[in-house]
Amino acid sequence: MKTAVIGYPYIGQNREWKRITEAFWKEQLSLECYEQEMKNLRLAQLHQQQNLGLDVLTVGDFTYYDRMLDLAIMFNMIPSRYDRLSLKHQLTAYFAMARGAENVVACEMTKWFNTNYHYIVPEYEGQQLTLQHNVYAQYIQEAIEAFGMTPRVTIIGPFTFYKLTKGVGQEQKQHYIQQLVKVYKELLQSLEASGATSIQLEEPSLTKDLTSEDIALVQHFYHQILKGLTVESICTTYFEALSNYETMINLPVDGFGLDFVHGKNENLAALKKFGFPKDKVLYAGIINGRDIWRAELQKQLALVAEIRSYVPFSPIHLQTSCSLQHVPVTTAGENGIVPELLNALAFANEKITELQMIKGKILQQEVLHIQAFLDSEKAIRTLALHESRKKKAVHAQVNALTPEAFKRTDNYGKRSKLQRAFLQLPDYPTTTIGSFPQSAQVKKNRRLWRKGEITTTEYEAFNANETARWITIQEQLGLDVLVHGEFERTDMVEFFGEKLNGFAFTTNGWVVSYGSRCVKPPIIYGDVEWIEPMTVKEVSAAQSLTEKPVKGMLTGPVTILNWSFVRNDLARSEVAYQIGLALREEVRALENAGINIIQVDEPALKEGLPIRKSLHKAYIDASVNAFKLATSGVRETTQIHTHMCYCEFNDFIDVIESLDADVISIETSRSHGELIKVLKETPYKLGIGLGVYDIHSPRIPTVEEMAAIIEKGKKVIAKEQFWINPDCGLKTRTEQETIASLKNMVAAKERLKQLN
């Protein structure tokens, strides 16, 4: 029996990866120094895993930006628009596809299944795919030289890469499949020649609902790319149970990885019914790679025993349910959390230790691990009995909810007329999503305050001055609905969690969201309660500075839920309702303070959607109700906005409409206006703001490209419904970039008015 992880957090315990990457982007590091520092980080992470006792070290889980992008570049799948770039070095096209460059827009970015990680979407234009520089071979050699052992290589598998590629028309499908077979086969052969002895192909798409065509394609891929290969091949699935188990389990691989956390019941049922091939190794994902709670080790021991009863003849190796990139590196140094909670936590390093303890117990090394098992049981039991989880008033409020709590009193048609008369907004109103640049001065001010080096009065005065300055800038730009800028907020979820009961925060619990953007998810460990107004002071102060309406800015209950680590003793829907009730109080407080436009953002609404369609309805019903619970207690003249970004909306428009928000702002720039095509086929009945430019790119969009999106949108969105805005908040951009981009956005709107 061996232990392994599917992947390890590559950002480093102290976000070293982020520091190195951003220094290179700012040209503070040469290419040579950048490569060397990245290599040092890769090897340090492998060394850490070796010290924790893993039997198998894995390479290929490291990336310079995104692993889907790594393969696209390796296969020379570079969209033709990047041909115009001057190639300063080998990473020019790579980072241009990720971030945009000069006058070339970035590739689309969207959610990695139902996680909070965003990947770069490969674009196929009929290119001739060829295998370029094989970075995995380099990683193999590094590990052999440093550790004297050959690591396992992990690669996103061909079926998943195929399913996540865009631009493959029906007429191109067969050619693209042939191309992928060719380059994957070349890649695997190249790895074998480089000394690889074990290759893991990650296929999370095999946990989705598969058609007969999908099944035939998977079989074609694997029979072709593995033909003649002598190294060990492993097909690993995660996030759900393997679909069509009885067929897929017979793919020509040497091992199969199954998720016995999120796909536990279905995978166990499949093992019991169909068995497991005697000529394959089962890689059992028994430790949750997506949450931060200690495992109930006795239960996991019993799980392994049950798996063994169905797989009596094949070797079983233990691993995490998915990559550990979705959790922080270690709980070490987290001294600001109450002991009852801290003792119940397990981050990446602690999860590896849990794997080792379970393996040791199975191999009857009980002396080494008996106390650890007892300590784990005690920690879990202590948190379960903690007073934070026993708030009777909160549970009573949820239990007393009636259908009326989830409804506005009038429909959108009536509300919209009242709101237009009350708010007196022009046609095609312009606004932003909420945040403005968090400059070095803003961050310094917050840092000094948290260290106690300036007073709260000084801290708030600085933020108030920034708000006043940006109110003036917005008025000068000609924006119609203003925002206060959110200078007091570090993160859109953390800010609210710090002001509600039931949340805890780590010191260094960072996880990657996209590129170098890292977040510190709050921990929802107790019952959630509203204590006092959280945003009224800052938004009211901003409103006092202008005659134009200023939006109240809140993060929605589903996004707070999906972007937090959530307690595992309650149904997620019940936690969402607790948050919805707390936000309902904040919405009421804003309205009572004279704020007549309130935005409740839900960018994570779709990302929590279960992978299996059979589970969609329950999630959607609970999520929509949680949003409505937060927003339905307002007057009809109060306009409710929401915002979403970076996920596929083609089959989700009806769900968005069911939120009954007066205005939804939504991304259309990176996806090249595909949402507009959807709206042509499925008209949207409420207000909608098109995200006409990509805020994740440092490039300044032109008036012409934004005007083109607006012109297309005008054909499918009625004048009374049409809003114009960036595609997301502006906190990561510089002031110069922000002002220039918004100036062009307003100019694009003015061009539209002139044409009318």
The strands making up 722-725's β-sheet, listed across from edge to edge, are 551-555, 597-601, 639-644, 663-667, 687-691, 722-725
At 713 the pLDDT is: 87
- Using alpha carbons only, give the angle 552, 557, 560 rounded to the nearest 5 degrees: 95
DSSP code of 293? B
DSSP code of 615? G
Is residue 435 part of an annotated ligand binding site? yes
Q: Strand 500-504 relative to strand 58-59: parallel, antiparallel, unpaired?
A: unpaired
Tokens (6 digits) for 169: 């028309």
At 668 the pLDDT is: 67
For helices 366-384 and 348-362, what crossing angle results, to 10°?
130
Is residue 81 part of an annotated ligand binding site? no
At 755 the pLDDT is: 62
Is residue 89 part of an annotated ligand binding site? no
At 104 the pLDDT is: 86
Tell me, what amino acid is at 642? T
Is residue 273 part of an annotated ligand binding site? no
At 491 the pLDDT is: 85
| Consecutive 10-residue averages of pLDDT for the chain (756 residues) | 96 96 95 96 96 96 97 95 79 92 86 93 93 93 93 98 94 94 97 95 97 97 96 97 97 98 97 96 97 95 96 94 97 93 97 94 70 89 94 95 93 94 94 94 94 96 97 97 95 92 95 93 96 97 97 97 95 96 98 97 89 92 97 96 73 88 81 70 87 85 91 88 92 94 94 71
At 751 the pLDDT is: 86
Helical (H) or strand (E) element with 12: none
Catalytic site residues?
A: 696
In contact, 299 and 360? CB cutoff 8 Å: no
Is residue 517 part of an annotated ligand binding site? yes
Is residue 116 part of an annotated ligand binding site? yes
Is residue 360 part of an annotated ligand binding site? no
At 453 the pLDDT is: 96
Is residue 322 part of an annotated ligand binding site? no
At 756 the pLDDT is: 61
Is the C-alpha dihedral spanning 449, 450, 452, 456 positive or negative? positive
What is the Cα–Cα distance from 443 to 490, expressed in whole angstroms?
Answer: 9
DSSP code of 433? -
Q: What is the CATH number of domain 393-755?
A: 3.20.20.210
Tokens (6 digits) for 16: 């070293």
